[in-house]
Structure formats: C-alpha cells, structure tokens
Chain A
Amino acid sequence: EPEVTQTPSHQVTQMGQEVILRCVPISNHLYFYWYRQILGQKVEFLVSFYNNEISEKSEIFDDRFSVERPDGSNFTLKIRSTKLEDSAMYFCASSDRLAGENEQFFGPGTRLTVL
C-alpha cells in the first residue's frame, strides 16, 4: 500500500537555526499539506500546495516558513530562525483531490525539538 514518508523522524536544533523537514508524498497525488501538532494539542493546518504553488496558508505559516517541491517527488518544509515554540510534531499529508473532497494520507511525522 502506498504511503507518505517523512525524514528525519526526530530533529533537534538550536534556537535560531534553520531546519528542513522532508516528505515524499504518494506518487500520483497532486495536493500536498503540512500540519503541526504541539504535544497535547490539536493538529493545526500550516499550508497546502498544488501545481507548484501555495494554495492556502494559515497564520502560523509566517515568513520564516517556506515549502518547496524541488524534484517532483520530495516536498519540503523549511523553517528559518527557529523558535522554542516551533517545537512540535510536523505531519506531511497528500491527497489526490482537494482537502475537502477526499481523504488525506498522513506521513508518520517529524518531531522537531528546538533547544
């Protein structure tokens, strides 16, 4: 069964550093998403991406955040100047239709710890 993969599973970084979280969506999917979940809290939407551009983004997705699909298979989330409050689980998801029309498949997540 096809699945979304994410690397690394755990990333530890110093405050102020840049991190890149990587995702490989399901190969025939067209819509890609990043979410975060702070420990004990709800899953929060960050950004959706389609046709090589951002479709929607939330207030959390400020100018320190960026996404890229550099090679047709990987989908990356870059966070610059990391803050302590960026510590969370980051989930990538993909779907073959818009979020409201069809199931999103989530990756196993990357746990980001900012020290």
Chain B
Amino acid sequence: RKEVEQDPGPFNVPEGATVAFNCTYSNSASQSFFWYRQDCRKEPKLLMSVYSSGNEDGRFTAQLNRASQYISLLIRDSKLSDSATYLCVVNGAGGSYIPTFGRGTSLIVHP
C-alpha cells in the first residue's frame, strides 16, 4: 500500500464551483499534515497546514480524519487562478520524520 495516496484527477470544474480533494495515508503514527500547491514546472508552495480541529483560510478548508487516516481540502468559489496541482504532504508516514508527498491532484478551473 502506498504511503500517501491521492486521486490524480484532473478535476475539471467551472469557475465558482466547490471542489474537494482527499488524501489517504497509511501510517497511523503520522504526525503532521500539509497541503501544498504546485504550478506547472514550479516549486511547491505551502497552501495550508492541517490541524486536528480543521482549519479554514478564506475559500480553503482543510480537515484531518485520524480514524480513517485521510485529510481533505475543500475549495469554494473556484477561481481560474486555482488551477494547479495540489500536493498532500504527510510527515512520519514512512515511520520516520521524513516528509512524504502524494503524487498530487490536478485541478483545472475553466471559465
């Protein structure tokens, strides 16, 4: 079983839509969780840390479900500029304190 799994997509949505991504992780001892955004041929940039209580930043909401071992990212009122690949990052997924990236979920927002 892969340590961090994401649906690669692409998710193709119109502007203004709400879209949600999930990411599952295999190691129940994983300690911290993040969503990064990566534009084509660019470096990853932190979008949000994911806390046990869930957290919201404007149109973005991240949640953690430890019992089912997944994290989620909800994007409301999608903008064209949200088009990117969203990377799930889990620390401790491999049993050590090493960040493990998912392959990413591609989002395409169209007019």
Tell me if chain B binds chain A: yes
Q: Does A104 contact B (CB under 8 A)?
A: yes
The reply to whether A108 and B43 contact each other, CB–CB distance below 8 Å, is yes
The reply to whether B104 and A42 contact each other, CB–CB distance below 8 Å, is yes
Identify which of residues 64-82 in chain B touch chain A, using a CB-to-CB cut-off of 8 Å. Answer: none
- Number of cross-chain contacts by CB at 8 Å: 49
The reply to whether A100 and B32 contact each other, CB–CB distance below 8 Å, is yes
The reply to whether B42 and A108 contact each other, CB–CB distance below 8 Å, is yes
The reply to whether B43 and A106 contact each other, CB–CB distance below 8 Å, is yes
What is the CB-to-nearest-CB distance from A10 to chain B, in angstroms, rounded to a whole number? 11
Q: Does B59 contact A (CB under 8 A)?
A: no
Q: Does A84 contact B (CB under 8 A)?
A: no
Q: Does A12 contact B (CB under 8 A)?
A: no
Q: Could you tell me how many residues of chain A have their Cβ less than 8 Å away from some Cβ of chain B?
A: 21
Q: Closest B-chain residue to A102, C-beta based?
A: B49
A100 / chain B contacts, CB cutoff of 8 Å: 31-32, 91-92, 97, 99
Q: Per-position contact with A for B34-45: 1 when CB-CB < 8 Å, else 0?
A: 100010011111
Q: Closest A-chain residue to B96, C-beta based?
A: A56
Identify which of residues 79-114 in chain A touch chain B, using a CB-to-CB cut-off of 8 Å. Answer: 89, 91, 98-101, 103-109
Q: Per-position contact with A for B81-110: 1 when CB-CB < 8 Å, else 0?
A: 000000100011000111111111000000
Q: Does A17 contact B (CB under 8 A)?
A: no
The reply to whether B43 and A107 contact each other, CB–CB distance below 8 Å, is yes
The reply to whether A104 and B46 contact each other, CB–CB distance below 8 Å, is yes
20 A–B contact pairs at CB < 8 A?
A: A42-B102, A42-B104, A43-B44, A45-B99, A45-B100, A45-B101, A58-B98, A89-B41, A98-B97, A100-B31, A100-B32, A100-B91, A101-B32, A103-B34, A103-B46, A104-B99, A105-B46, A106-B43, A106-B45, A107-B43
Question: Knowing that A41-B103, A45-B99, A104-B46 are A-B contacts, what are 10 other residue pairs whose CB atoms are under 8 Å apart, sorted by A's residue number?
Answer: A42-B103, A42-B104, A43-B87, A48-B98, A56-B96, A91-B43, A100-B91, A100-B92, A103-B34, A104-B99
Which B residues have a C-beta under 8 Å from some C-beta of A? 31-32, 34, 38, 41-46, 49, 87, 91-92, 96-104
